[in-house]
Structure 1
Amino acid sequence: MIRKSSKSLGYYIKVNRISIKGTPFQLPSMKSESVKLTIVSHTTLRSDIYKALVYGFSKATKNIPRVNAVKPFSLCLKSSAIGSVRTGFRVPSIDLQTESGKVWTISGDNSMKRTGKGAACLGFIDGGLGMKDAIVIGTFQMENNFLFLDLASQKFGFSSSLLARGTSCSSFNFTEISL
């Protein structure tokens, strides 16, 4: 975990690669990009990275019928055709590989947003080419993940989805944790 400057709002991690369903895809200028952790609602990506993600996810879900896009999203699938598992919609996972080789897996509960009218949309937003940060991780992608921020030693840890472990943040008993 890094801070870009003392005036910077937010914390950053380095991401070397993004994979969909275990397959890395070509990202423009993604040589260990700084990824900002913040409190925007959905992960926002610079246009070139966003287009690569949508293309890769679209290719990985080619057998699932599409429906009209629901703003602000651009790729929406027919929710009744997706199916579900413990971790949300049954769609390919999106993996962010950090500089240290750790992988943060974003599964269906954090990648697909139910928008109504029979649609579930890829819950990422195109931030345009002029974005200051290449990727800004939003709260929707952080839901039901334990995030550990050790500010003193500048370390960041994550659990990936708690739903895969049969629990969630809302039902987790924090009083039983001993440090």
Structure 2
Amino acid sequence: MIRKSSKSLGFYIKINRISIKATPIHLTSLKSESVKVSTLVPYTTLRSDIYKALVLGFSRATKNIPRVNAVKPFSLCLKASVVGSVRTGFRVPSVDLVTESGKVWTISGDNLMKRTGNGAACLAFVDGGLGVKDAIVIGTFQMENNFLFFDMANQKLGFSSSLLARGTSCSSFNFTENSFYIDGVK
């Protein structure tokens, strides 16, 4: 976890790869970019080239699921009744963010798809355009029911991926415990 400057209000992590269903999406510039983690942005916002590659990869991975009309601000919407639901949310391929250190933040089901009404479930990522300051800004929708641990002293971000897959959620998490473990980190 890094800060771009002493005046920066954001925290950044390095992402080396984005994969869908364990297949990397083709990105030429991602390795040199920092990814901002934001509690102010509702949905993960991507620079246009990254957004288009993600949507294309996700579209290919879900090619057997019928499409429905897009609902703004999203561009890829699937028929919600066909996508169905499991314990971790919608039955769609997961998206993995692979960090510089090789750790994998898996975004699945409920953190990928937003039920928008009229039978649509949309890929909950937003195209930020070509001129955005940060190539990727991870938004609150993708962080919901993920445990994030900001270790300021060691400049590290710990993450759990979906708590729903572990049979719990943030709303039922007991924060009064004296100690807790997430993926081996106390």
TM-score, length of structure 2 as denominator length: 0.94
The correspondence of residues 1-179 of structure 1 with structure 2, limited to 5 A, is 1-39=1-39, 40-178=41-179
Query: Structure 2 stretches of 5 or more lacking a match?
Result: 181-186
Q: State the distance in 1 between where 2:30 and 2:36 align.
A: 14
Contact kept in structure 2, 1:35 and 1:136, CA below 8 Å: yes
TM-score, length of structure 1 as denominator length: 0.98
Question: Residues 130-166 of structure 1, C-alpha deviation per residue, up to 9 Å, x if partnerless?
Answer: 0111000000000000001011211111000000000
Contact kept in structure 2, 1:32 and 1:99, CA below 8 Å: no
Contact kept in structure 1, 2:11 and 2:37, CA below 8 Å: yes
Q: Give the share of equivalent positions with the same residue, in percent.
A: 83
Contact kept in structure 2, 1:18 and 1:94, CA below 8 Å: yes
Deviation at 1:48, TM superposition (A): 0.2
Runs of 4+ in 1 over 4 A off after TM superposition: none
| RMSD value, Cα | 0.9
Q: State the distance in 2 between where 1:138 and 1:122 align.
A: 13
Contact kept in structure 1, 2:14 and 2:31, CA below 8 Å: no
Deviation at 1:103, TM superposition (A): 0.2
Aligned pair count reads 179
Contact kept in structure 2, 1:44 and 1:125, CA below 8 Å: yes
State the secondary structure of the residue aligned to 1:15: strand
Partner of residue 183, structure 2: none
State the secondary structure of the residue aligned to 2:171: coil
State the secondary structure of the residue aligned to 2:173: coil
Deviation at 1:32, TM superposition (A): 4.2
Contact kept in structure 2, 1:47 and 1:129, CA below 8 Å: yes
